[in-house]
Structure 1
Amino acid sequence: MEKNTATRILDVAQEMVRSRGYSAFSYADISKEVGIRKASIHYHFPSKDELVKALVKRYRERIVRACELIAQSDNSLNEQMMQFVALYQNGLDSNQICLCAMLAADFAVLPQAVQDEIRAFFQDAEAWLTTLLQNGDDAGLWVCRPSAQQEAKALIAMLQGAQLLARSSEDQTYTFEQVVYPILNAKFSSP
C-alpha cells in the first residue's frame, strides 16, 4: 500500500532535516524527491514552519511510543537503558542525528510553535529517562547523583553530543560507541 502524500512529504522532510538541518532544505527539494509539484506540498503544509511543526510533533510521538514499548517490555533495566541509547545510535548509519537536536541548533530562528514542540520532545525524553533511572536507583542497580532527573539531563546531552561528534568522523558508529559505552558501563552497570 502506497503511503499518502502528506506522510511521504513528512518522511522526506524528516530525512532532509536530520541530515541537513532546517535551513538547508526547501519545498523544491521535497518536491523533487517526492515527485510532486511544490503546490501539492503547500496544499498539505501551507508553510515550511507548519511542515516542521508537524514533523517534530510526529517525531516526538514516535519516540514517546518507542519509550513506552521499551518500558512495557520484560527486559531488565540495563537492557532498557541500552534500547534507549539505540534510539540515538540508529540514525547514524544513514548520517542522521536526532531531529530535535538538529533543529535545536536553529532554535532561535524557529517559530514559537516549533520551539514548543522541541521543548516538549526534550521534556518527554527527560521524564521517561528520569523514571527509568529512578527505578534503577530504587532497585539498587545504579546510584543517581545528585538526582535521577539530573542524570537524565546529562545522559541526553551526552547522547546528542555523541551523535554530533560521530557525524564528523569517518566511522560514525565506532565514534558514538567510544563516547557513550564507557560512560554507560561506568555509571549504569550493576554494582
Structure 2
Amino acid sequence: MSGTRERILELGEELVLTKGFNGFSYQDISTALGIKNAAIHYYFASKENLGTSIVKTNIQRFEEMIANMQALQFDPIKKIETFIKIYSKSHRERKLCIVGALSPDIETLFPTTQVEVTKMVDLILNWLVEVLTEGKKQGVFHFQEEEKQRAFQILSSLVASLQLARVNKYVDYKGYCYDLLDQLK
C-alpha cells in the first residue's frame, strides 16, 4: 500500500474517531498532511470510498485479532478481556470506537459505508455470542440471559460508555469495563 494512501487512511480514521464522519472534510486531511486535495482524491475518489475503506480496515483488524486469539488458544475469559482492552485503549486515547463513531450518523453515511458498519457490528456480535457460548459450555460463565442478548448488552455498554466517558471525565472506565466481565462469571 502506498505511504500516502496509508497516511490518508490513518488520519481519516483518527478524524472519524475524534470528530465523527460528518465532522471533517478532505481539506482537514490535506492541511494536516501538507498535500493537495487532489492527492486524496487520487487514492479515495470520494469521502464514501474513504469511509468504506476505514470500516473495512477495522473489520480486517478485528478478524486478525480473532484469528490470533484462536491461534494462541485463548480461553473465553482471555478473549473477553482482550476485547475490553480495545475499548480501554480508546478511552485512554480519548477516542470513540469505529462503531460508536459511525452509528449515530448511520442514516447520513453513504450506502456502502452503512453496509460495512452493519457487517462490523454483526461480526462483533456473532463473535461475542460464540465466546459466551463457549464460556457457558466450559462452566466459566454463569449469566442467565441468552448469549445473543448478553452479547448485545456487552457491545452496547462498551460503545455507549466510551461516548458517556467523554462527557463525564471522572468515570472509572477501566473498572466499569471489568465489571462487565465479572457479571459473566
Residue 188 of structure 1 aligns with an amino acid whose one-letter code is L
- Among 168, 172, 175, which residue is 1:175 paired with? 172
Aligned residue for 1:105? 104
* SS of equivalent residue, structure 2 residue 172: helix
Q: Does 1:4 align with 2:17?
A: no
Q: Distance in 2 between the 1:77 and 1:41 partners?
A: 42
Cα separation, 1, equivalents of 2:67 and 2:161: 24
The answer to whether the Cα contact below 8 Å between 2:99 and 2:159 also exists between their aligned partners in 1 is no
CA contact (8 A) 1:88 1:98 kept: yes
Following superposition, the deviation at residue 144 of structure 1 comes to 4.3
Equivalent runs, 1:32-111 vs 2, <5 Å: 32-111=31-110
Letter in 2 for 1:180: C
Give the whole-Å Cα distance in 2 for the aligned partners of 1:25 and 1:3: 22
Shift of 1:112: 1.1
TM-score by structure 1 length?
0.90
Task: Tell me: higher relative CO, structure 1 or 2? Use CA pairs within 8 A at least 6 residues apart.
Answer: 2
- Cα distance in 2 for residues equivalent to 1:130 and 1:144: 13
Is residue 16 from structure 1 mapped to residue 15 from structure 2 by the alignment? yes
Runs of 4+ in structure 1 deviating by more than 6 angstroms, as ranges, are none
Does the CA-based 8 Å contact 1:67-1:84 persist in structure 2? Answer: no
Equivalent residue letter for 2:173: F
Query: Which residue does the alignment assign to 1:188?
Result: 184
Shift of 1:109: 0.7
- The answer (yes or no) to whether the contact 1:77–1:132 under 8 Å persists in 2 is yes
Q: Give the drift of 1:183.
A: 3.2
Shift of 1:6: 0.8
Note if 1:164 corresponds to 2:182.
Answer: no
Q: Give distance in 2, aligned partners of 1:88 and 1:73.
A: 21
Q: Percent identity?
A: 25
Residue in 2 that maps onto 1:117 = 116
1:182 offset after TM fit, Å? 2.2
Identify the residue that residue 25 of structure 1 maps to in structure 2. Answer: 24
Q: What SS does structure 2 have at the residue aligned with 1:96? A: coil
Once the 2 structures are TM-superposed, how far is the Cα of residue 170 of structure 1 from its aligned partner? 2.6
TM-fit CA distance, 1:3: 6.0
| Equivalent position SS for 2:21 | coil
Corresponding residue for residue 137 of structure 1: 136
Deviations 1:107-139 (A, max 9, x none): 111111111000000011111111111000111
Partners of 1:111 and 1:97 lie apart in 2 by 20
User: Secondary structure of the residue that 2:140 maps to in structure 1?
Assistant: coil
Query: Residue type of the partner of 2:71?
Result: Q
What are the residue-to-residue correspondences of 1:140-155 with 2, within 5 Å?
140-155=139-154
Per mean C-alpha deviation after superposition, the further-off stretch among 108-117 and 161-170 is 161-170
